[in-house]
Amino acid sequence: MRLDDSRESDNVEDRRGSGPMIGGRGTIGIGTIVLALVAMYFGVDPRIILQLAGGGAPTQQQQAPAHAPPADDSRARFVAKVLGETEDTWTQLFKQFGNTPYVDPKLVLYTGATPTACGTGQSAMGPFYCPGDSKVYLDMSFFDEMKRRFQAPGEFAQAYVIAHEVGHHVQHLLGISDRVDQLRRQNPSQGNALSVRLELQADCFAGLWAKHADSARHILEQGDVEQALNAASAIGDDRLQKRSQGYVVPDTFTHGTSAQRVRWFKRGLDTGDIKQCDTFGASQL
* Nearer CB in complex with Zn ion: 3/234: 234
Residues 29-58 that bind Zn ion (CB under 5 A): 43
Closer to Zn ion by CB, 64 or 159: give it.
159
Strand partners, 113: 122
Closest-by-Cβ residue to Zn ion is: 43
Task: Using the minimum distance from each CB to Zn ion, give the nearer residue, 43 or 119.
Answer: 43
- With contacts defined by CB under 5 A, name the span among 6-14, 183-191, 200-208, 230-238 that binds Zn ion: 200-208
Q: Does 126 bind Zn ion (CB under 5 A)?
A: no
Region near Zn ion per CB under 5 A, out of 48-56, 75-83, 92-100, 193-201 = 193-201
Total residues at interface with Zn ion (CB under 5 A) = 3
In the complex, least distance from residue 91 CB atom to Zn ion, rounded to whole angstroms: 22
202 versus 210: smaller Cβ distance to Zn ion: 202
Pick 217 or 266: Cβ nearer Zn ion: 266
Nearest distance, CB of residue 47 and Zn ion, angstroms? 12
User: Which amino acid would we find at residue 126?
Assistant: G
CB nearer to Zn ion: pick between 43 and 268: 43
Smallest distance, Zn ion to C-beta of residue 137, A: 12
> What HEC string does the chain produce?
CCCCCCCCCCCEEECCCCCCCCCCCCCCCHHHHHHHHHHCCCCCCHHHHHHHHCCCCCCCCCCCCCCCCCCCCHHHHHHHHHHHHHHHHHHHHHHHHCCCCCCCCEEEECCCEEEEECEEEEHHHCCEEECCCCEEEECCHHHHHHHHCCCCCCHHHHHHHHHHHHHHHHHHHCCHHHHHHHHHHHCHHHHHHHHHHHHHHHHHHHHHHHHHHHHHHCCCCCCHHHHHHHHHHHCCHHHHHHHHHCCCCHHHCCCCCHHHHHHHHHHHHHHCCHHHHCCCCCCCC
> In the bound complex, what is the minimum distance in angstroms from residue 125's beta carbon to Zn ion?
11
Cβ 72 to Zn ion shortest distance, Å: 31
| 120 residue type, one letter | T
Closer CB to Zn ion, 43 or 69, in the complex: 43
Least Å distance, CB 173 to Zn ion, is: 15
**Residue 217 CB, nearest approach to Zn ion (Å):** 25
Binding residues (CB under 5 A) for Zn ion: these are 43, 199, 202
